[in-house]
Amino acid sequence: MNKRTVFIVYGIALLAAVAVSVALLNEDQSAHVALASTEQSAPVDAVARLGDQYIEGRELRTLLATLPEAARQQLRDNRPALDEWLRSRLAEKRLLEQANAQGWTSRPEIQEMIRSATEQIVLRTYIDSVSQVPDDYPGEEDLRAVYEANKANWVTPAMFHVSQIFLAIDGRQSLDTLRKQAFELAKRAQDGKTDFAELAAKHSQDRESAQRGGDIGRRHLEQLLPEVRPVLARLEVGAVSEPVQSATGFHILKLTDLQPSRTATLDEVRMQLQTKLRATRQEQIAKAYMEGLVNSVQLSIDGAALSEVLEPAR
């Protein structure tokens, strides 16, 4: 399971935990949770069971609906990841049952945490509802103005498509012997009589790239060794360099292609800009709304009472 999948699985688990919390908060004022009876049988559409615990198809569909389409599709396509989430969710349900059996939700500190969580959910969802951004914002003029003002942020660095023949410094040959071999290979590659890929496949000691004729792919200069950067920056497409020595060996480089640095167009960054501008505007609306609530009535602070609270008890 890759890291991204694990992140998604635990993200769903977190959503499940929130769902459980909300369910607890919606119970009666005494906070006694009414869990499913152990005698109650699982519904027909239960997709997973663990003892007397089960996950209904409705619950799974609800949680999946909260995810972005890409994440939802990845879970559909990754059965092991989905199975792992189902296992974790059922374990959570059993844990919740144990906590309820011990009257855990009746503990004062848990009651306070539930109250605080409820308050934050209400505040967050309400402020979201009163700070909605108009559908037509930002307009084209706003987008273009922000794009032009931040144009430097949309620059894509040059991409160098590089192949190499690598001779490693491993102690089996003297440095002079290895250098001489590197210059001989470079000369053969430069005269064009022998194909570079052929030489790399035969002589390069970087076996992974050697299998591809020396091709190490497209890289930004910053992704390459400091010793080879200035050499590649001066190399013309199709040219082969003199051997470049690094701490690990000698590199004979061929620049097979170059994608120059460029600035992304407004259309390419439009969605990113729209999302950022809408989020900023919503924050501004929310802040103005909160300030309006505070400024609509007179604020009074009892300094003496406040000091009494802040001072440590004697």
Q: What is the pLDDT of residues 182-210, one digit of tens each?
A: 999 999 999 988 999 999 999 999 999 99
The residue count of the chain comes to 314
State the pLDDT confidence band at 148, using cuts at 50, 70 and 90: very high
pLDDT digits (tens, 9 = 90+) for 206-262: 999 999 999 999 999 999 999 999 999 999 999 999 999 999 999 999 999 999 999
Buried b (16+ CB within 10 A) or exposed e, 75-114: beebeebbebbbebbbeebeebbeebeeeebeeeeeeeeb
Task: Determine the average pLDDT of the residues in 32-44.
Answer: 44
Q: How confident is the model at residue 41 (pLDDT cuts 50, 70, 90)?
A: low
**Which among 15, 28, 23 is positioned nearest to 97, based on CA atoms?**
23
Quick one: the chain helix, strand, coil %, rounded to 5?
A: 55, 15, 30
- Going by pLDDT thresholds of 50, 70 and 90, the confidence category of residue 313 is low
SS3 294: helix
Mean pLDDT over residues 72-81, rounded? Answer: 87
Segment 114-128, tens digit of pLDDT: 999 999 999 999 999
Residue scoring higher pLDDT (254 or 2) = 254
pTM, two decimal places? 0.56
